[in-house]
Structure formats: structure tokens, C-alpha cells
Amino acid sequence: MANIVITKTGNSIVVDMGVYGLNVGFTKASYLASDIVELNLRTNSVDVMMRDSHGNSNWSLTYDSTYGGNELFIVDSVNGTGSLSSESQLFDLITALRG
């Protein structure tokens, strides 16, 4: 099973949680592109704040399986772009989903 796969169709962003589904309590979530509230690029992660029905959810994402674990969720692809190579690339791809 894959890690997180993020896709955009129209104004909707679908997040397939992959192997993390059981841990977070859902297998897929759909957000409006405008629900991405904030993005922060860090050394080993991209922190994403999403608006949802409970307020805001914070997710720490990475492209690198070296850092995967309880604190970070590994992203396999964003909108069809796989084989991610840096946190900066992950940040740019998620930022592009907002437009």
C-alpha cells in the first residue's frame, strides 16, 4: 500500500492517506483548495494547516522515508508528480494546489 497521495480535481483536493488510514481514522479526505490555510517549509518537513469541520488540522509532511514515523507523514505524489526529491519541491507542489 502507498503512502499519502494528493490529487486536485477542479477546486477539490483529495488526500488518500494510504498506509496511515488506520492510524488517523480515515482513508480519504476531500478539501476545497481554499481550505489550505498555511504552509511552512522546514528542514525535514512541510507543515500544512488545513481548515476542516473541526477547525484547523495540522499535518507535518515529508517526501523522505528516512524521516517517516509518528511525527511525519510520507507523501508519495502530489497531483501526479511522484519521485519527489526535496521538501522544497513538496512545498511548491502543495502551494500550486491552492491556485
Q: Can you give the pLDDT of all 99 residues of the chain as single tens digits?
A: 799 999 999 999 999 999 999 999 999 999 999 999 999 999 889 999 999 877 898 999 999 988 766 689 999 999 999 999 999 999 999 999 998
Burial class (CB in 10 A: 0-12, 13-18, 19+), 23: exposed
Domain 4-97's class? Answer: mainly beta
* Sequence letter at residue 64: D
Which residue's entry shows cell 480515515?
A: 26
Full-model pTM: 0.92
pLDDT of residue 68: 62
Measured in whole angstroms, the distance separating CA 97 from the mean position of its chain's CA atoms is: 11
Q: Which helix (H) or strand (E) holds 33?
A: none
Res 69: pLDDT: 64
What pLDDT does residue 65 have? 86
Query: Taking the CB of residue 32, how many other CB atoms lie within 10 A of it?
Result: 12
- The domain locations on the chain are 4-97
Q: What is the pLDDT of residue 15?
A: 97
